[in-house]
Amino acid sequence: MEGRGVCAPRGFRAGAVSCGIKRGGALDLCLLQAEVPCAAAGTFTRNAFKAAPVVVTMEHLSREGVLQAVVANSGVANAWTGERGRGDARAMAGEVGRLLGIPAHRVAVASTGTIGNFLPMEKVLEGIRAASWRLTREGGEEAARAIMTTDSFPKLGEWDCGPFRVGGMAKGAGMIHPDMATMLAFITTDALVEPGVLSAALRAAVEKTFNRITVDGCTSTNDMVLALASGLSGYRPSPGELEEALLDACRCLSRLIVRDGEGASRLMRVRVEGARDDREAKAVAFAVAGSLLVKTALFGGDPNWGRIVQAVGAALPDAREEGTEVLVGDLLLARDGVPAPYPEDRAAEAFSREEVEVTVRLSRGEGVSEVLTCDLGYEYVRINAEYRT
């Protein structure tokens, strides 16, 4: 049987178990193993309070740029847990290394869940042992389920790039407003590539995808994107070819995260054109996409474009009404500081679709950026009000 997700490329196996971190017997720990040492790369949260597994994985990756296994748990983030937490993350890597016969510094560690709780290490270590016995080429989907927290579905995919393959899995539905990462994402490939080339391609792909999404404006302490390349296809792609393959994977996985935003029913793409440069366009797009007023209007299917222009003006103090336009789909809503003549029913229909396209044109230059977001409704409040209870 051909593997799914992270097991789709040659040379990867995965296994997942319930070790008792989560209630009710849900899968909460997974192990990903490569048959051979892999060129590896990562991007990580820029939150000042990096979780213990992020710190440890960054240390391990900096040694050689090589990984051969990843262990990840859900339910407890192992963040704000001090030296004990860092010791627990190192113990997880050490146990994986012992069981698989590889150096501990070639093991990445990831955690997601509640901040400020210590891991139940007896259960975790037993779970690692159990997961090591379940490693198979068919374990990709279970692994994707094991890293879920408030996710409503597992996020995984595989991409055939001709002479090589790419696979991936991710988790995330809340606390999503990344900076060089997302909640958790793991990408595998059997392309033959050096760590430096892989790192450059991953960073470029992440910048265009995971760094262009927001659910609630909150950047996690545990954000991490890892890429591992086994080289077992024997094919060495050009840097551009590799980046395009990773871009396809990251684009799909990041979109699934926004689609699964906690309580979300609609996805919105905010496109900003005509900014002075791409950086300015990105800032304006995030201002619109992150506005609670815009997101609640989206939830209600209300084409209240006044909230959009408010967000643009707040993000861009020197913006001018003249030359600024707001569209939903191909319908012009406002231009040059006044409402455009549009049928209200068409605007309401466009703002009530499952996927809504909003475009802001600024007439200031050539800068362009797009950001994906989702609506914000009652269910988001319920989920997060009851997150620990």
- The larger pLDDT score, comparing residue 164 to residue 384, is at 164
- The larger pLDDT score, comparing residue 176 to residue 2, is at 176
Residue type for 68, please?
Q
**pLDDT-derived band at 61, boundaries 50, 70, 90:** very high
Exposed e or buried b per residue across 158-175, where buried means at least 16 C-beta atoms within 10 angstroms of its C-beta: bbebeebbbbbbbbbbbb
Q: Which of 112, 150, 182, 359 is catalytic?
A: 182
**pLDDT-derived band at 182, boundaries 50, 70, 90:** low
pLDDT at residue 335, as a whole number:
97
Lowest mean pLDDT across 137-146, 168-177, 269-278: 168-177
Task: Look up the pTM and report it.
Answer: 0.95
Query: Percent of the chain having pLDDT more than 70?
Result: 99
- pLDDT tens-place string over residues 350-375: 999 999 999 999 999 999 999 999 99
Q: Which domains, from first to last, does the chain contain? A: 5-257 (3.60.70.12), 267-385 (3.10.20.340)
Beta bridge partners of 174: none
Q: What is the mean pLDDT of residues 74-98?
A: 98
Q: What is the mean pLDDT of residues 75-83?
A: 97
* 304-311 long-range Cβ contacts below 8 angstroms, 24+ apart: 305/333, 305/334, 308/358, 308/360, 309/334, 311/287
- Count of CB atoms within 10 A of residue 275's CB? 25
Q: Does the annotation mark 189 as catalytic?
A: no
Asked if the model's pLDDT at residue 389 lies above 90, the reply is no
pLDDT at residue 17, as a whole number:
98
Per the prediction, the chain carries an average pLDDT of 96
pLDDT at residue 1, as a whole number:
53
pLDDT at residue 176, as a whole number:
86
